[in-house]
Structure 1
Amino acid sequence: MKLLLDSCTWYGVRNALVAAGYDTVWVGEWESDPGDDEILAIAYRENRILITLDKDFGEMAIVRGSPHAGILRLVNLITTQQSQVCLQVLPQYGEELCAGAIVTAELSRVRIRPADRD
């Protein structure tokens, strides 16, 4: 599973995901932040699930119809909880994410918006 971590996620999430065997790229390591539109476009082109704290990506996908390869939004989590939730959600909901779902995950709650099927 290929992942793209938005720069707003904690760097430790990258380390935890790489250690767990995920192909993970973190925007925070790029020379500059290209902005949300380009981040979502890159994730889509590279077939990477986007992991973010930012609700704007879901709005871009749902309201504007921007293509994506799955979005995992982390909500109300301290930095160390971000890794924990990713490592729980990705194996459990990876199939849905890879199919283009938008998953919103909190410490004790997960909501899934399945991919639109045309």
Structure 2
Amino acid sequence: MKLLLDTCVWGGVRSALANAGYDVIWSGDWEEDPGDEEILARAYREERILITLDKDFGELAIVRGLPHCGILRLVNLSSQQQIVICLQVLEQYAEELKTGAIATAELGRLRIRPPD
């Protein structure tokens, strides 16, 4: 499964996900931040699920209708919790995310909005 981590996601999540067999890129490695719209567009072009802490991506996808290949938003998680939650959600809800679902995950709670 292909993933794009937004800059706001702790960089250590990238190695943990790569070690688990995921194809991961992190926008923190890019020379400059292209902005949310371009990050979402790149994830879509490359068929990657976007992982972020930023709620603006949900607005871009839902309100503005920008195309995406699934979004996982992490809420109020420490760096280490980001790893654990990402691995759990990706393992259990990969198919939903691949079809364009938007998942919001925090400790003890997961909400999934299926694609329209």
Question: The TM-score by the shorter chain falls in which range?
Answer: over 0.9
* CA-CA distance at 1:70 after TM superposition: 0.2
Structure 1 match to 2:111: 111
* CA-CA distance at 1:31 after TM superposition: 0.9
Structure-2-length-normalised TM-score: 0.99
Query: Hey, which bits of structure 1, 4+ residues long, moved more than 6 A?
Result: none
SS in 1 for 2:72: strand
% same residue: 73
Q: Check if 1:4 corresponds to 2:12.
A: no
Structure 2 match to 1:75: 75
* CA-CA distance at 1:107 after TM superposition: 1.4
SS in 2 for 1:97: helix
Structure 2 match to 1:19: 19
Give per-residue Cα distances to partners, 1:17-54, cap 9 Å, x unaligned: 00000000000011111000000000000000000000
Q: Measure the CA separation in 1 of the matches of 2:113 and 2:46.
A: 22
Q: Measure the CA separation in 2 of the matches of 1:83 and 1:12.
A: 8
Q: What runs of 5+ residues in structure 1 fail to find an aligned partner? A: none
Q: Measure the CA separation in 1 of the matches of 2:95 and 2:107.
A: 20
Q: Measure the CA separation in 1 of the matches of 2:14 and 2:48.
A: 14
Q: Measure the CA separation in 2 of the matches of 1:98 and 1:69.
A: 6
Structure 2 match to 1:38: 38
Q: Check if 1:49 corresponds to 2:49.
A: yes
Structure-1-length-normalised TM-score: 0.97
Q: What runs of 5+ residues in structure 2 fail to find an aligned partner? A: none
SS in 2 for 1:69: coil
Q: Measure the CA separation in 1 of the matches of 2:15 and 2:108.
A: 23
Structure 2 match to 1:92: 92
Give per-residue Cα distances to partners, 1:88-115, cap 9 Å, x unaligned: 0001011000000000001111000001
What letter matches 1:88 in structure 2?
A: Q
